[in-house]
Amino acid sequence: MPLPEPTPVLDLIDSFRRSKTMFTAVALGVFDRLREQPCSAAGLAGRLQTDADAMERLLDGCVGLGLLTKQAGVYTNQPVADVYLCSASPHSMHGYVLYSDAVLFPMWANLADAVREGTHRWKQTFDLDGPIFSHFFRTEDALRDFIQGMHGAGMVSSPRVVEAFDLSRFHRMVDLGGATGHLVIAACERYPALRGAVFDLGRVTAFAREEVAQSPAHARIEVLAGDFFEDDLPVADLYALGRVLHDWSDQKIATLLGIVYDKLPPQGALLIAEKLLDEDKSGPVPALMQSLNMLVITEGRERTAGEYGALLRQAGFARVEARRTGSVVDAVLATKE
């Protein structure tokens, strides 16, 4: 019997090297510098205070990955790097790349222990105890990287989430744990009669105000400080939870859904944005990888549409619909009848 093709295994062996090449180029400021002006490896090494030969190898690696072009020894950003890897771009994922490099990469090195014990790796990796989000926000730089990273990803996915269902019947949407407000911004920009609010921890609201101020819908969006587990929720007929429920256990989700359900008026609804696993949990791969990520860094996991439906119906929601968006997160709409 012939041996199976080894390409899948070889690709996986190589994958972390590709990720780390991009992470390192972002962390060193390569794409930001090249956005200002194309440059040779030696010139860039001088500007970034690195070894010239090593910089050339890094840049050539980025050329091979499709992030840079090289002509006559001069390197230039590809459009994908300009848009998603430069800190000044309005669609930048720069913050999430930095967060992935500084936090996720070392934590994933302890995945085997997370699987053995079934718990996150903050203590093992960084010697941090306490609530998980105190670790995410342990310094102002860590907070900014995390929040800006969520914003970059949200700018890609949120327009698709608010298109998944017709939300025109709602009057006020409150985005719970909304970070920079990308989800409510997308909703208010799509639905001109909708008013909205971002509701998140006080340390996060400054970032939300920065982003809301740049939206054409800014006059219809408030930014409010609060903790959705502890504080009374602002009044709304549509609440949203974007990439929130996957952080928590079923027990904490039940508590939060109960709070939301009790606050909603009849025919009010909850919009959820999360990666949905297939019902047999065999895919899709991004959702499977994100579920492992939740094991490493939170108390939660990714779920199927059926699992979210069961949690929502247990909380009292009578009608639950799930839609694939074709983007990095999917959409679930649960209505109170």
Residue 170 neighbours by CB under 8 Å, 6+ apart: 191, 194, 237, 238, 268, 269
3-class secondary structure, 40: strand
3-class secondary structure, 150: helix
What does the block give as tokens for 302?
Answer: 């990714």
Q: Rounded CA gap, 213 and 218, in Å? A: 5
Q: Check 94, 120, 135, 246 and give the catalytic one.
A: 246
Q: Which amino acid is at 300?
A: G
Q: Rounded CA gap, 81 and 15, in Å? A: 19
Q: Rounded CA gap, 295 and 298, in Å? A: 6
Residue 239 neighbours by CB under 8 Å, 6+ apart: 173, 174, 175, 176, 233, 260, 263, 264, 268, 269, 270, 271
Please count the other Cβ atoms lying within 10 Å of the Cβ belonging to residue 92: 23
The CA distances from residue 318 to 163, 182, 334, in Å, are: 22, 28, 7
151 assigned to active site? no
Q: Rounded CA gap, 184 and 164, in Å? A: 14
Catalytic amino acids? 246
